[in-house]
Structure 1
Amino acid sequence: MADKCDLCLLGLIILSSLLTGTSGVDHVFISSGENVSLSCNKALSGCKSTTWIYYNRFRRRGRVELITGGIKNKDTERHERLSLESDCSLNIKNVTEQDSGLYRCRQYVNGEQQGPDADVHLRVLHVSVSPSSSSSSSSSSSSSSQTEISPGRSVTLSCQLYSYDIFSCDDRVRRGVELLWVNQAGVDLKTDSRYQILSSSAPDQDRCIIISLTTTLLNEDDNREWRCQLTHRDHLETSVRYTVKYSGEKTLFSDRFVKTSTDWLYSF
């Protein structure tokens, strides 16, 4: 019953912030694999009074108390990736799409809440690769698994924004969130007939917006870069890039990402 009350209150908070234009809810966009710090806006000294709660209606455990009284709860799946800053901000290392959701910071003294909640919506941009035909037996579509393909075969890159909202994804698009596949020069690949670009929203899932790129690999694709970028009201928030790397007899390999400045380089 308490969980349902929290979710109802959450809906009212978000609705109020949208209608009034207040900044009571912070919105953070980030690419998977990066580190992020979520602000608590604390009013009290020290963090022993601080509690961080995570919400996501699409997860098996839709409400999880990550930090209680300034101490990490060890039974949470992300325990090893969490830490508190001196200002009680919540740090999350190596963010995954599973981390998307709403994070709420509360502070208590003698069991009574002090000040308003600090709410942060964390939205995670993630890309996976799905070769439609492979020279190996692997059928994995994860960006962190290994898949062997070759020029002349088709490959699909799926760029997905993971988000927790009580509002539809269509509404989020109307409020200025957009995903684009672009080339190294920043040109929208929709203008190139070689690429098939498909956009969709999934309001019944946590993958709020999806844009896929499908193309047939060419020999000259060696060192070619494709980038999925997320913009919010025409401002670039974050991006993920794929750079094709051939080796040997022009065989394409998918490997782990390597961080480069604000982007992620996926070597194939």
Structure 2
Amino acid sequence: MTTQFKWIKFFSSVLLMLQVTAAAVEHSEFIIRDGGEVTLSCENLKDDQDKCKGTVWIFSNSNTAATLTLFEHGKIHQEAKNKSDRLSVTANCSLVIKKLTAEDAGWYTCRQFRGNPGIQQGPDAVVYLSVVSITEYKDDNTVTLKCSVSTYKECKYTVKWLYGNKDLKMSQSTCSASVIFTTSDYIYTSTNSEMLKCQVTHGGNVQEFIFRIQSSNQETGWCWWRFIIVAVGLAALITAAVVVHIWTREAGIKVQLYENVVCNDE
């Protein structure tokens, strides 16, 4: 009985440690459209930071076991040089990522260090980032729209296409959904671009991402109208300038003649 009690006590202690550890790791989650921008907050930030020199940002994803150091010793790390133009760190040590791509999906860890060599202070702060991509494929008279979510681990999202509040007929797979239209379909050619959208759901969290319809015919038409408007405006401006010039010349001649007449009378 005593042995059993010791084992129960041991496992209880281990379980308590796991619970405390899990609670100690602070985390948040974002899902952002590709091409957008996100600011990842370092929730375990220490008040005595000197230009974030004690802050380290690390990136990991499910596609590789390796980790990438993004920021260390107050500057963007050499390991992140291929994306350094898209990375920056704010005064409160938050990590800013611009022009997001699917490859940016993963988890970002912020750690605080003190001293030399640095000793980690407090728990990790983890931010999970998923990226939504919407692609358009045209083939003769059909067009396929695909909405997909690149995530930090196995997919947990439900993805579907809506027109207004109505579900569209689509094909769905893990973390993606595709819908096919003819190029003359009223939905695809609609000028109400707010109606066609990709909905991404996880639990009670629902986010919608609008597909901006840009018909090539509409773009071409607008370009031609813009060209015509500019051309007409320029022609009107030139005409006005010529009229003013002629009027000025005639006025000048009349004044000169009048002056000559007066002088001759004297």
The reply to whether TM is greater than 0.5 is yes
Residue 238 to residue 36, structure 1, CA distance change in 2 (3 Å): farther
Q: What amino acid sits opposite 2:120 in the alignment?
A: Q
Conservation of the 8 A alpha-carbon contact between 2:197 and 2:208: no
- Is 1:242 aligned with 2:212? yes
Aligned to 1:193: none
d(CA) in 1 for partners of 2:218, 2:191: 14
Q: Which stretch of the first structure deviates more once superposed, 30-39 or 65-74?
A: 65-74
Give unpaired runs (5+ residues) of structure 1.
1-15, 135-152, 191-196, 202-208, 252-268
Higher strand share: 1
Residue number among 57, 60, 80 corresponding to 2:62 in the alignment? 57
1:114 offset after TM fit, Å? 0.4
- Is 1:215 aligned with 2:170? no
TM-score (norm: length of structure 2): 0.65
* RMSD of aligned Cα (Å): 2.8
- Is 1:98 aligned with 2:103? yes
Conservation of the 8 A alpha-carbon contact between 1:35 and 1:93: yes
Q: How does 1:60-71 map to 2 (within 5 A)?
A: 62-71=66-75
- Is 1:37 aligned with 2:25? no
Q: How does 1:2-41 map to 2 (within 5 A)?
A: 24-41=26-43
Aligned to 1:128: 135
Aligned to 1:112: 119
Conservation of the 8 A alpha-carbon contact between 1:182 and 1:227: yes
- Is 1:164 aligned with 2:152? yes
Q: What amino acid sits opposite 1:36 in the alignment?
A: V
Higher helix share: 2
Aligned to 1:227: 197
1:178 offset after TM fit, Å? 2.0
Give the number of the structure whose alpha-carbon radius of gyration is greater.
Answer: 2
> RCO (CA 8 Å, sep 6+): is it higher in 1 or 2?
1
TM-score (norm: length of structure 1): 0.64
> Percent of pairs identical after alignment?
30
Please state whether the residue corresponding to 1:94 is helix, strand or coil. coil
Give unpaired runs (5+ residues) of structure 2.
1-17, 222-266
Conservation of the 8 A alpha-carbon contact between 1:30 and 1:237: no
After the TM superposition, which parts of structure 1 deviate over 4 Å for at least 4 consecutive aligned residues?
A: 20-23, 248-251
